[in-house]
């Protein structure tokens, strides 16, 4: 027996083949599943990268918006559309108000003429009644 | 101090305008005692329509409706319509002095007392005055006073005499028959 061989090798010589395989697998597993610490500064690098990507995305959309509204024609069209919508709304409201006032004035005229008509009719009835009374007396 | 001057001038102009405007179109001035009756009345009708308002109102009249078409025809030459009508719960809630105040304004040469009705039995009083200018009827005042109701109507402007009699046949009111008798009293 070689005295230079390590103790494990000595033992391997004494073990059966499956036992040897078990030992190797165990060692392999232990090495594979061994906890390893992250390299120094890994968390900082991950956070920095995430922040960089987020900033990149928002600045891209902002610059896209800027590019869109930097087009003079489009800016003018948007302003014109807002103005047209506002003026249509104001005009519609004014027309509704005018119509309501006109209808109210019309109703007042009709009421006034109805009262006048009614009173003139009453006067006529009185006069007719008096005429009848005069002719019978 | 100076900055208050324009405000004072504006106030004076506004005050002058507000006083002058009602007298401008109206033939008669409704006395304050008449306007105050609104506080006592069960029902009040207060119509004040000047020329521009009448023109405006006529735009909203439907020519296919009989009453609207007739009203449009009547108001086309009018400069104003003024109506005050008060209905009272009980008798004697207004003084006849109010009516006298109005009648006193209709004494001028242009005013003709067309019809006067005095009914002692029912207590009804009614007067119709027309304003004659250049041979044309240029205004109409109707005063109808009964124990529970007082109504004053003033139509200002050119009125076709046929329209006056025709008025009683319009707006759901039966048409007059015969001609009214002037200055008839009882």
CA B147 to chain centre: 19
Strands of the sheet containing B43-50, edge to edge, are: B43-50, B78-87, B149-157, B136-146, B124-133, B111-119
Domain-embedded: residue B186: no
Q: What does the alpha-carbon distance between residue B171 and residue B179 come to, in Å, rounded to a whole number?
A: 20
Q: Is B158 on the interface with A (CB under 8 A)?
A: no
Q: What does the alpha-carbon distance between residue B140 and residue B173 come to, in Å, rounded to a whole number?
A: 19
Domain-embedded: residue B43: yes
Best residue in B62, B76, B83 for a mutation probing chain A (most A CBs within 10 Å): B83
- pLDDT, tens only, A94-126: 999 988 989 999 999 999 998 998 888 888 888
Q: Which of residues 16-35 of B touch A (CB under 8 A)?
A: none
- Rounded to the nearest angstrom, the minimum Cα separation between A88 and chain B is 23
Q: Where are the domains of chain A?
A: 1-30, 72-136
Q: What does the alpha-carbon distance between residue B18 and residue B11 come to, in Å, rounded to a whole number?
A: 10
Q: Are strands B124-133 and B111-119 parallel, antiparallel or unpaired?
A: antiparallel
CA B134 to chain centre: 21
Q: What value does the mean pLDDT take over residues A130-137? A: 70
Q: Which of A106, A114, A123 is opposite residue B128, by nearest beta carbon?
A: A123
- Which domain covers residue B94, as residue numbers? 27-50+77-167
Contact B82, B100 (CB under 8 A): no
Is A111 within 8 Å of B83 when comparing Cβ atoms? yes
CB atoms within 10 A of CB B119: 15
Total number of domains in chain B: 1
Q: Which of A106, A113, A115 is opposite residue B74, by nearest beta carbon?
A: A113
Is B126 within 8 Å of A106 when comparing Cβ atoms? no
Domain-embedded: residue B64: no
φ, ψ for residue B106 (rounded to 5)?
A: -110, 30
Handedness of CA A13, A15, A16, A17 (dihedral sign): negative
Is B54 within 8 Å of A131 when comparing Cβ atoms? no
Domain-embedded: residue B57: no
Q: Which of A105, A115, A119 is opposite residue B53, by nearest beta carbon?
A: A105
Q: Check residue B8 and give its pLDDT.
A: 55
Q: Mind listing the pLDDT tens digit of every residue in chain B (186 residues)?
A: 445 545 555 444 444 433 434 445 778 899 999 999 999 999 999 999 999 999 999 999 988 888 888 889 899 999 999 999 999 999 989 998 999 999 999 998 999 999 898 888 778 889 999 999 998 999 999 999 999 999 999 999 998 877 766 665 555 555 544 443 333 333
């Amino acid at each position: 027996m070689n005295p230079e061989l390590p103790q494990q090798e000595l033992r391997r010589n004494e073990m059966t083949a499956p036992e040897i395989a078990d030992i190797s697998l165990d060692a392999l597993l232990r090495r594979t599943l061994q906890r390893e610490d992250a390299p120094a500064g890994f968390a900082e690098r991950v956070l920095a990268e995430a922040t960089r990507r987020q900033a990149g995305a928002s600045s891209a959309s902002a610059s896209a918006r800027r590019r869109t509204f930097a087009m003079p024609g489009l800016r003018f069209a948007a302003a014109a559309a807002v103005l047209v919508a506002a003026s249509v709304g104001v005009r519609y409201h004014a027309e509704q108000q005018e119509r309501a006032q006109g209808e109210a004035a019309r109703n007042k005229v009709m009421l006034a003429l109805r009262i006048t008509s009614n009173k003139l009719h009453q006067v006529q009835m009185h006069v007719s009644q008096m005429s009848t009374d005069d002719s019978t007396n | 101090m100076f900055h208050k001057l324009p405000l004072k001038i504006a106030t004076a102009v506004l005050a002058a305008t507000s006083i002058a405007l009602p007298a401008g179109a109206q033939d008669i001035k409704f006395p304050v005692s008449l306007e105050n009756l609104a506080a006592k009345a069960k029902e009040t009708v207060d119509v004040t329509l000047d020329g521009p308002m009448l023109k405006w109102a006529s735009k909203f009249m439907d020519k296919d409706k009989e009453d609207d078409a007739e009203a449009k025809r009547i108001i086309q030459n009018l400069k104003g319509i003024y109506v005050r009508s008060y209905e009272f719960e009980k008798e004697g809630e207004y003084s006849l002095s109010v009516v006298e105040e109005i009648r006193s304004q209709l004494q001028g040469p242009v005013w003709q007392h067309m019809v006067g009705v005095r009914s002692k039995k029912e207590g009804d009083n009614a007067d119709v005055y027309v304003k004659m200018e250049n041979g044309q009827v240029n205004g109409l005042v109707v005063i109808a006073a009964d124990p529970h109701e007082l109504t004053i109507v003033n139509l200002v402007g050119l009125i076709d005499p046929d329209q006056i009699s025709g008025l009683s046949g319009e707006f759901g009111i039966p048409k007059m028959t015969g001609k009214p008798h002037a200055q008839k009293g009882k």
